[in-house]
Structure 1
Amino acid sequence: MDAVSSESEIDTVVLDLGQVLVDWEPQRAHPHLSAQAWHAVAAEIDFHALNLRADAGETWASLEEEVAAAWPQHAGFLARYAEAFATTLTGPVPGMPELVGEMRARGLRLLGLTNWSSETFPHGRVAVPAMHELEAIVVSGDLGLVKPDPAIYQHLLDRFDVAPARALFVDDRLANVEAARALGLHGHVFTDAASLRRELAGLGVVIDPPA
């Protein structure tokens, strides 16, 4: 394993998981619905707000009861989503399994920080082999905290003795990255593996793209 260069500004990379390591398409849990119909239901019940509540520790069963009571015509929508969750993970984000392996080979410490329901998270471990390259993963559903709450970042920093100024936080959501920056971490809004390579190079960690 190559050691991180003394010229590098960082020694730790903290990675979000969804849309960074693994592609997530929630509508795939309901293949009987057209894309238009799925988005209409999701908007009516505010699926993404409900999903965030699950990420914060609420059970899918309790959320399904809430939806069924408020929108009887959509009873079963969340239950189906939770049951078919594995189908919503469509594979690794292109280039990221290789980059994760290369970062580890360079001696960077790799941690995960994800907004994810503790009920469905085990599917992620199966679907995303790159997760096993990470030293540890902080899962929001286990803590009852979600990004961008500063407390979840502080939990990771304290638990793993991470120096904020020596860490890069990577997430596809700007609000989450800004929260990390406010605590002193370097931050990168993820779009693709190539842009993350450039960010790392700017911090003194040059990882050449695969031939």
Structure 2
Amino acid sequence: MKNHAYHSIIFDLGAVLVDWNPRYLYSKIFATPEEVEDFLENVCTSDWNETQDEGRSLAEGTDLLIAQHPQYEAQIRAFYGRWKEMLGGPIPETVEILKKLKESGRFKLYALTNWSNETFPIALMEYQFLQWFDGIVVSGKEKLRKPHHPFYQLLLDRYNVDKSTSIFIDDNSRNVKAAEEFGIESIHFLSPAQLQEELSSRGILN
């Protein structure tokens, strides 16, 4: 527990506020869960997807992967062609936490997200709560991403945020570790209930 004033709360979006999971799509495409996992571990990997999050075009990323795995062309094209089917909707309990923080008027709220600049506009249209943020920094637009420290610095510089009075929330332990090393106190998001408890223990939420 830290006893100091917080001014800025920085949220990750995917798996914290937005339920995004490629398994929602690929469970419709493959016959078994084992085939889904094999495909996501060996073909459309998280590293491959994050390169699009860092600014590579969806078309280039798709073509590159098809050249490596031509037998999976249709399944690879589905990743971005049917991307919207990976969205499970908002995570309502976390959105409620965000709403309480907004309504308190005590904090500036920011989002720092690894997200393709080509698919992020879909989320902006789908989820009204994204309008509640005072600023959103999208990796695909900036061609930088978590866990690289310059991406965190970009948010601080753009919105004049003091990292010593900020807290960062992310479901990815790699990104949390990087933020802590960078000097931003962080919460590794595991569930909305756990986040509520962590924020309450710091006096951020009642």
- Same topology, TM > 0.5: yes
Partner residue in 1 for 2:93: 95
Post-superposition Cα deviations, 1:141-164, rounded to whole Å, max 9, x if no partner, equal 011111000000000011111110
Partner residue in 2 for 1:167: 166
What runs of 5+ residues in structure 1 fail to find an aligned partner?
A: 1-6
Partner residue in 2 for 1:3: none
Kept in 2: contact 1:8–1:205 (CA 8 A): no
Q: CA deviation at 1:126?
A: 2.7
Report the residue type matching 2:189 in the other structure: F
What runs of 5+ residues in structure 2 fail to find an aligned partner?
A: none
The more displaced of 121-130 and 59-68 is 121-130
Aligned residues: 201
The more displaced of 71-80 and 53-62 is 71-80
The more displaced of 40-49 and 88-97 is 40-49
Aligned residues: CA RMSD: 1.5
Partner residue in 2 for 1:36: 34
CA distance in 1, matches of 2:65, 2:184: 38
Partner residue in 2 for 1:13: 9
Runs of 4+ with >6 A deviation: none
Partner residue in 2 for 1:25: 21
Aligned-pair identity (%): 30
Kept in 1: contact 2:66–2:76 (CA 8 A): no
Kept in 2: contact 1:63–1:78 (CA 8 A): no
Q: CA deviation at 1:46?
A: 4.9
SS in 2 for 1:75: helix
Q: CA deviation at 1:8?
A: 5.2
Partner residue in 2 for 1:186: 185
CA distance in 1, matches of 2:76, 2:58: 7
Report the residue type matching 2:8 in the other structure: T
Kept in 2: contact 1:55–1:115 (CA 8 A): yes
CA distance in 1, matches of 2:138, 2:91: 19
Q: CA deviation at 1:27?
A: 2.4
- After superposition, residues 1-211 of structure 1 pair within 5 angstroms as 9-30=5-26, 31-34=28-31, 35-107=33-105, 108-207=107-206
SS in 2 for 1:76: helix
CA distance in 2, matches of 1:197, 1:37: 36
Post-superposition Cα deviations, 1:127-179, rounded to whole Å, max 9, x if no partner, equal 33321211111000011111000000000011111110110100001111111
With normalisation by structure 1, the TM-score equals 0.89
Kept in 1: contact 2:163–2:183 (CA 8 A): yes
SS in 2 for 1:177: helix
Distance 1:116 1:17, change over 3 A: same
CA distance in 2, matches of 1:199, 1:43: 32
CA distance in 1, matches of 2:98, 2:9: 10
Q: CA deviation at 1:112?
A: 0.3
The more displaced of 60-69 and 169-178 is 60-69
Distance 1:130 1:8, change over 3 A: farther
Post-superposition Cα deviations, 1:87-116, rounded to whole Å, max 9, x if no partner, equal 111011241121111001112111000000
Report the residue type matching 2:155 in the other structure: L
Q: CA deviation at 1:49?
A: 1.2
